[in-house]
Amino acid sequence: MSLFIHKSHNVSVLLYHLVCPAKYRRVVFDEAVDAVLKEVCLDISLRYEISFLEIGTDRDHVHFLVQSVPTYSPTKIVRTIKSITAREIFARCPHVKKQLWGGQFWSDGYFIASVGQHGNEDTIGNYVRGQGQDNSYQKLHSQPRDQLTLMDGPASPEKLNSKLTYSAACGGDFDSAQLIIAISRLEPYAKRAGRFLSPSPFRR
């Protein structure tokens, strides 16, 4: 489950649905490759500001549902994931090289789309899980809500002040309450910089 990522000067929820086909659309994903792919992706999440909310393979391609930060462009996210996973799969699964030639694991092409947190995050997650023919889709990883500690993580309850007060002010929508608090945090920075920050439309 995605969460607000709080940085010094921004708060973001950036989700992407990424689909990467294997080179020549070869059916290369077996149990060994799946295990390596999952391990490498989780290692990437520790080294880079990329969190994998869900990973799933479907014979000749892989679906990723990831969350990242504004400083990471979609191209950088794709390049990071593809380059590191390809290198490690070739190193740990030598049999894959017999099916692929030219030293490339992934096809040059890929699909990537932004995902709305509330509108279609669950829809895309269900879509990713529903892919595959004859139940060939294998879910390798799904990030539990209570274990997501992406980068700085969510603000503590103490920093959020009174959750119930803000939630009531926003009609019970706590995500909107978090947005109000995020904007209020940024206002001092904007004032010191001599810039104008318009009031939050959620405020009464």
Q: Whose CA is closest to 176, among 52, 13, 66, 53? A: 13
pLDDT tens profile 26-47: 999 999 999 999 999 999 999 9
Range with lowest mean pLDDT among 14-23, 44-53, 98-107: 98-107
pLDDT score recorded for residue 192: 46
- Secondary structure percentages of the chain, helix, strand, coil, to 5: 40, 20, 40
pLDDT score recorded for residue 156: 41
Going by pLDDT thresholds of 50, 70 and 90, the confidence category of residue 81 is: very high
* Dist. CA 39–CA 27, nearest whole Å: 20
pLDDT score recorded for residue 79: 98
- pTM over 0.85? The answer is no
pLDDT score recorded for residue 86: 97
pLDDT score recorded for residue 194: 43
CATH number given to 5-147: 3.30.70.1290
pLDDT of 64 > 90? The answer is yes
Average pLDDT score over the chain: 74
Which residue has tokens 């000067």?
9
Which residue has tokens 């995050």?
121
Structure tokens at 118: 């509330």
Angle formed by the axes of helices 74-92 and 31-47, to 10°? 130
Instruction: Please give the angle made by the CA atoms of 97, 103 and 107, to the nearest 5 degrees.
Output: 95
Cα 6 from chain centroid? 15
Give the residue with greater pLDDT, 159 vs 86.
Answer: 86
Mean pLDDT, residues 97-106 taken together: 88
Going by pLDDT thresholds of 50, 70 and 90, the confidence category of residue 142 is: confident
Mean pLDDT, residues 98-127 taken together: 81
